[in-house]
């Protein structure tokens, strides 16, 4: 598949993830809205639908942490990491801009309220939805991303029926959100965090570093654990 098509697929997929998941939080997540369960499902469904739609073109990463992890697991070429991440960031920021345009159509809307979770941004301390500390948020993001990569590495193994992989990955992301929305508003994806933080005010931007560093570290940890403890041993060579 041509690289231009791969990068386009990554941009479209990440756009849909941010617009669908963060859009559910910003537009439908208020009082009387879909709640934590609905937002979690929205994130899971965006990934599930886009992996089916364009995963055969680009592999369906839609997340710099996944791209980094797959490279670390020797399932992705190093020369393609930077272009994939760039495409994901473009898709995420465009989605943030579109979401801002839609949400601003309601009188009184302000994406920079300075409150936890404003414009679906991620945060720790005073900007954690549940008031969780920096350490709690760091551990949460690392562990959630690590398990996300363990699941991805497992369900995309060539011995597993590939038709089931998008469902497992989408459900995994749903579960991750159910656990961690109260803690960090759930990132596990630097592109998702950047895409809305750029429009969410100075507080969101100042805390953005955590949601770049922790998912990246978690991805590397998850792939390491999968390879060291869970990956089946190679079959012996035929005599």
Which residues make Cβ contacts (< 8 Å) with residue 38, sequence separation at least 6? Answer: 24, 28, 29
The whole-model pTM stands at 0.93
pLDDT of residue 234: 57
User: Is 60 a member of any domain?
Assistant: yes
Residue 179 lies in a domain: yes
Report the alpha-carbon angle 50-79-230, nearest 5.
Answer: 65
Interval 66-125: pLDDT, tens: 999 999 999 999 999 999 999 999 999 999 999 999 999 999 899 998 889 889 999 999
Q: What is the pLDDT of residues 124-142, one digit of tens each?
A: 999 999 999 999 999 999 9
Nearest CA-CA partner of 181 in 15, 32, 42 = 42
Distance between CA atoms of 110 and 61, rounded to whole angstroms? Answer: 31
Using a pLDDT cut of 70, give the percent of the chain over it.
96
CB atoms within 10 A of CB 203: 19
Work out how many domains the chain is built from and give that number. 1
Name the one residue in this structure whose structure tokens are 């560093």.
Answer: 213
Give the domain CATH number at 32: 1.20.1080.10
What pLDDT score was predicted for residue 159? 77
3-state SS of the chain: helix, strand, coil percent to 5?
70, 0, 30
The first and second tokens of residue 20, run together, are 């669908």
Report residue 118 as tokens. 């404003």
Considering the domain boundaries, does residue 238 fall inside one? no
Does residue 239 fall inside a structural domain? no
Per residue in 209-224, pLDDT (tens digit) is: 999 999 999 999 999 9
237 within some domain? no
Residue 181 inside a domain? The answer is yes
The answer to whether residue 12 sits within a structural domain is yes
Q: Dmax of the chain from CA atoms?
A: 74
Residue span of the structural domain in which 120 resides = 3-230
Query: Is residue 152 included in any domain, yes or no?
Result: yes
Q: Are 176 and 185 in contact (CB under 8 A)?
A: no
């Amino acid at each position: 598949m041509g690289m231009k098509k791969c990068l386009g697929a990554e941009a479209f997929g990440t756009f849909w993830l941010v617009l669908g998941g963060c859009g559910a939080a910003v537009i439908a997540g208020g009082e009387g809205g879909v709640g934590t369960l609905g937002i979690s499902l929205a994130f899971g469904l965006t990934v599930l639908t886009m992996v089916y739609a364009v995963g055969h073109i680009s592999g369906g990463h839609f997340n710099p942490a996944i791209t980094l992890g797959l490279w670390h697991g020797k399932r992705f070429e190093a020369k393609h990491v930077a272009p994939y991440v760039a495409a994901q960031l473009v898709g995420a920021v465009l989605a943030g801009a579109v979401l801002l345009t839609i949400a601003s159509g309601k009188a009184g809307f302000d994406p920079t309220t300075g409150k936890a979770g404003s414009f679906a941004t991620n945060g720790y301390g005073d900007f954690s939805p549940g008031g969780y500390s920096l350490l709690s948020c760091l551990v949460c993001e690392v562990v959630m991303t690590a398990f996300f990569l363990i699941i991805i590495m497992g369900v995309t193994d060539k011995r597993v029926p590939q038709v089931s992989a998008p469902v497992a990955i989408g459900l995994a992301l749903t579960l991750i959100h159910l656990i961690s929305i109260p803690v960090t508003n759930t990132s596990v994806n630097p592109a998702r965090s950047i895409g809305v933080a750029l429009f969410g005010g100075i507080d969101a931007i100042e805390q953005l570093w955590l949601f770049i560093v922790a998912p990246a570290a978690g991805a590397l940890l998850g792939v390491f654990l999968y390879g060291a403890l869970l990956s089946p041993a190679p079959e012996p060579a035929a005599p």
